[in-house]
Chain A
Amino acid sequence: MNDATPEPAYNFAYLDEQTKRMIRRAILKGIAVPGYQVPFASREMPMPYGWGTGGVQVTAACLVPEDRLKVIDQGADDTTNAVSIRRFFARTAGVATTTRTTEATLIQTRHRIPETPLHAGQILVYQVPIPEPLRFLEPRETETRKMHELEEYGLMHVKLYEDIARHGQIATSYAYPVKVSGRYVMDPSPIPKFDNPKLSGSPAIQLFGAGREQRIYALPPYTKVVSLDFDDHPFQASKAAHDCDLCGAKASYLDEVITDDLGGRMFVCSDTDFCTDRQAHGKRGRVSAPVSGDAA
């Protein structure tokens, strides 16, 4: 699948080689110090800040002509911004693109980790809006950097504790903070906390790019990532208590779709590739049409 013909007026994958080298250095540093936010000289990209410029720059620095790129937003390949970014690289890098998680060598994502487990050799690039997990507790960058340096994460635990005192549980449902290799507290980007367990021990390289905030951080393969919690209030990955209405999956993250104005709703996999693949293998949900010879 190729969205457009390559653009000859720009360098491979848009960025010039010096810029890519600068970004690769930041990535390597990030991999060497898992969870540490590496400042990098983020460039203006031809899409707005906040729309994935960090992820796009990381992807541009990682892509080679042999790559097969998948881009998802909200788990889906066909959301408009995913389409836009996939086209951008099809045009500026001429790389092959795919919607299949298993076939992709590099996956850029916003807000989700694919349901299908990643394998060694794959790179997952996250778009990050606010890389600083402590930002909403302390607005000053100068302060939060100090807190990371001193491993001073008491404020975060107080916040989580206050949640429990107030609500009986930790009231953070996405961008749920994690601790990486027992050292840095890291923002996993606004993925639902349902996805947090997939961060840990993944055979793939996970890279996080925040363009506007000029930060890159990384999880090398098989890094231990622990979602913050308390002994008496252990972390729980949660999702809507339903099965997918299209493929019947019981353990995938679901989008809620309003079907009428009478309270009618259905739940479908947010990961479109996962859902399509299951349906292709004959899996059926509550509202899907039955298939002759359906064994699922």
Chain B
Amino acid sequence: MYVAVKGGERAIDNAHAWLAEERRGDPAVPELSVAQIREQMRLAVNRVMAEGSLYDPDLAALAIKQSRGDLIEAVFLLRAYRTTLPRLASSNPIDTAAMAVDRRISATFKDLPGGQVLGPTFDYTHRLLDFKLAAEGSVPPAPQSPATAAPVPHVIDILNRDGLIEAATPDDTPDNTPPPDLTREPMELPAARALRLQAITRGDEGFILSMAYSTQRGYGRTHAFVGELRIGHVAVSVDIPELGFAVEIGEIELSECETVNQFSGSRTQPAQFTRGYGLVFGQSERKAIAMSLVDRALRWKELGEDDTGAPAQDEEFVLMHADNVQATGFLEHIKLPHYVDFQAELELVRRLRADAITLQEAAE
């Protein structure tokens, strides 16, 4: 007698136990601590925080550990945790001009107020495997210089003074309305720029990178220069109603990229540069640059440019497919049983075949 497959519960428990064992790996090798991941896998931690929309290096490191280094899985863990947190307050807008910069470069000016600061970058390293790292050893301290108190103004603001670049409107939403919140409201299209930027900054780095790259290769070309890329810490403050003033509650590391893009102008408007903007948690400069290119490409309508049909110009296409938690979930759900639908299809195909064979035989 046939007995239908049972035991889903035991199978799940056993799978989880095996997974835990695999996650740990060889017990003879010392276990990774969350602090080690947080300190030594920082760029992975940054990516997980950025795409997880939660600034918490410890939790991001924990998520990376739990996910066995699968960063999309880690992003998912962080998002699922984030969604259970109560929203206590909204911070005041951060001031990136007041950033304590670790890195600040401009590709448009050789020198500028505040100077070019390379910071901790891979840019000019030779990509040669460093076998010394395979052996454990201490790193000699990097040379230090005292921090300067001199202001580091935004490069774009310097251009702006001469009217060479479009004026920045803080937001294209009507005055006095708070910007839309992607995590609290459903995505409605067409989306305001504020909403687009939210979606892109938490979007998958690989997807945003490819979209940006496609604009460089001619699909929605925007001729971007990196006006400025800055990475560093900014203070976050919150208004405390009981006190009547803002209190600094901490600081976060950010990467900000502003691109300068060509715009030929029109009969009524003189030629002027235009802007693309990227802002991402942590040192995530590839993402910040890519974000600013995609932002600029999506602004074609507002700037009166042609729709060339490029994917990066297509707001619905970009925004609806940028989220890797959504994408991976839906992609992988096809692993789930589809017996019922497949049975319906099977039955349909059999019937269609039977009809066709009957017709064929009748013709013969």
Contacts and interface: CB of A to CB of B under 8 A. Distances in A.
Interface of A: 3, 10-11, 14, 16, 19, 39-46, 48-51, 53, 73-76, 78-84, 87, 110-112, 129, 140-142, 167-169, 171, 173-175, 190-194, 212, 214-215, 238-240, 245-246, 253-257, 259, 266, 268, 270, 272, 287-289
A266 B326 CA distance: 37
A73 B12 CA distance: 15
Contact of B79 (A44, A75, A83, A289): A44
Interface string B83-100: 110100000000000000
A105 to B, nearest CB: 22
Candidate in B188, B189, B336 with the most chain A CB atoms within 10 angstroms:
B336
The 10 lowest CB-CB distance pairs between A and B, nearest first, are: A49-B329, A50-B333, A48-B329, A173-B344, A50-B330, A39-B186, A192-B344, A214-B186, A44-B79, A173-B348
Interface of B: 1-2, 4-9, 11-12, 76, 79-80, 82-84, 86, 183-190, 316, 320, 325-326, 328-333, 336-341, 343-348, 351-352, 355
Given A44-B80, A140-B316, A259 B2 contact: yes
Contact of B347 (A73, A173, A266, A268): A173
A45 B187 contact: no
Contacts of A82: 8
Contacts, number: 155
Contacts of B184: 41
Contacts of B86: 16
Given A239-B347, A257-B2, A111 B330 contact: no
Identify whether the interface residues of A are mostly helix, strand, loop, or mixed: loop
A111 to B, nearest CB: 5
Nearest to A49: B329
A47 B308 CA distance: 39
Contact of B80 (A46, A167, A268, A289): A46
Given A51-B333, A141-B316, A240-B347, A266 B8 contact: no
A174 B189 contact: no
Contacts of A140: 316
A174 B344 contact: yes
Given A41-B185, A253-B340, A270-B339, A129 B352 contact: no
Contacts of B332: 48, 50
